[in-house]
């Protein structure tokens, strides 16, 4: 499996380590470029959950910053007693979708992925 090519710098960790914030290259207070990572323990339901979100400040055609940001997010939920092979299989499907031209068309033109 390939490693990440984006360099992230940890800027904040919630006590207990369940929430982390990372700065992407080019991040400033006025033009945020962040990665947010959240984890939830399995708890009584036996389901672990992880969420990763990438967000960036954007602006309009005149260069005026918009209040809304660009954000991509993925949440992974899995029963802790489930089969690792099932998690790996769905990870492969998810990666295939995200790496596809169809996903790009969904993001840029709101087209279906299949």
39 and 93 housed in the same domain: no
Per-residue pLDDT band for 54 (boundaries 50, 70, 90) equals very high
- Report how far apart the first and last C-alpha atoms of the chain are (Å, whole number): 26
The average confidence (pLDDT) of the chain is: 94
* Count of domains forming the chain: 2
**CA atoms lying within 13 Å on the CB side of residue 8:** 17
Per-residue pLDDT band for 42 (boundaries 50, 70, 90) equals confident
**Cα of 66 vs its chain's centroid, Å:** 21
According to the model, what pLDDT value does residue 88 have?
97
- The beta strand positions in 1-114, using DSSP E, are 9-13, 19-23, 33-40, 47-59, 65-79
The domain of 110 spans 83-114
Using the predicted structure, report yes or no on whether residue 61 has a pLDDT greater than 90: yes
Tell me which DSSP letter residue 17 carries: S
According to the model, what pLDDT value does residue 1 have?
65
According to the model, what pLDDT value does residue 45 have?
77
11 and 48 housed in the same domain: yes
Q: What is the pLDDT of residues 9-40, one digit of tens each?
A: 999 998 777 999 999 999 999 899 999 999 99
Reduced to 3 states (helix: H, G, I; strand: E, B; else coil), residue 91 is helix
58 and 33 housed in the same domain: yes
Q: What is the pLDDT of residues 70-85, one digit of tens each?
A: 999 999 999 999 999 9
């Amino acid at each position: 499996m390939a490693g990440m090519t984006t360099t992230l710098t940890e800027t904040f960790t919630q006590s207990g380590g369940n929430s982390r914030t990372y700065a992407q290259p080019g991040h400033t207070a006025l033009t945020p470029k962040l990665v947010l990572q959240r984890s939830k323990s399995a708890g009584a339901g036996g389901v672990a959950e992880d969420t990763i979100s990438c967000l960036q400040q954007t602006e309009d055609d005149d260069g005026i910053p918009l209040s809304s940001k660009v954000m991509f997010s993925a949440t992974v939920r899995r029963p802790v007693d489930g089969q690792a092979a099932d998690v790996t299989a769905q990870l492969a499907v998810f990666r295939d979708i995200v790496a596809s031209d169809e996903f790009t068309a969904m993001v840029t033109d709101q087209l279906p992925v299949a």
